[in-house]
Amino acid sequence: MSIAKDLASTQIPSEQEWDEDDDIVLPPSDLWSDEPPLETDLHRDQIDLLIRLLRWCWRNRQDFYVSGNLTIYYNPNKLKSKDFRGPDFFVVLDTDPKPRKSWTVWDEGGKYPNVIIELLSDSTAETDKGLKKQIYQDIFRTFDYFWFDPHNLEFAGFHLVDGKYQALQPNENGWLWSQQLELFLGIYQQQLRFFTPDGKLVPTPEEAAAEAEELLAKYRAKFGELGDS
């Protein structure tokens, strides 16, 4: 199916219509995710890393949902034809962080992801750069969209401006700014990582613990020197 036909066949209520029209009949919301297995270890490890990093970075927040390789059901009229998408990584802001079987838009107040990252592969790159990009722009209205190839490290990002995706320009480090996350995304040791606005790498819990141990060791060494003087 062409992109134009695919989009034209997607007739779904708007967020306002869901709020105002009690007569809209929707399918069940308790739907299981229906995504194929990830293609490589690199893809799985990258998704897991991004999820763990954001949860750790925002560990004091309870107003977001982050997941990956999880189905987003957005077209209640096309479930049998599998008219749904499963981004490799996505974040929804201003929502409950409770665990979910899937993300069903009609059961989430019409909310779509604020940020999506797709991991490219030989079999998905064309769709990620074409059909999915247009769906995320025209239907999801996802503000920040990125793609990253964990094999050749291709990396690009887009921000929604007046309803159209505009390519993000990298800074001097090659990082791209996510307005929604208020974090940079960039490549570090051949993986996609988050960086703070002041340029610091967002650590994993293990990296944070190791850094704390290193600082403690330096403090103890300095304290010992002061105590002996």
> For residue 88, is pLDDT > 90?
yes
- Verify that 72 and 135 share a domain, yes or no: yes
**Entry pTM:** 0.81
Q: For residues 67-77, give the mean pLDDT.
A: 86
227 shares its domain with 194: no
- Considering the domain architecture, whether residues 13 and 77 belong to the same structural domain is answered as yes
155-161 vs 144-148, strand pairing mode: antiparallel
Residues 122 and 38 in one domain: yes
Q: Give the distance from CA 78 to its chain's centroid.
A: 24
Q: How many domains does the chain have?
A: 2
d(CA 191, CA 54): 15
Clarify whether residues 39 and 99 are in a common domain. Answer: yes
**In terms of domains, do 123 and 227 share one?**
no
Give the domain range for residue 223: 203-229
Backbone angles phi, psi at 24, to 5 degrees: -70, 125
**194 and 212 housed in the same domain:** no
How far apart CA 44 and CA 130 sit, in angstroms, is 23
Residues 68 and 96 in one domain: yes
pLDDT score of 218: 78
Q: Do 118 and 43 contact (CB within 8 A), yes or no?
A: no
CATH code at position 72: 3.90.1570
State the average pLDDT for the chain: 84
CA distance 89 to 185: 13
* Share above pLDDT 70 across residues of the chain, in percent, rounded to a whole number: 77
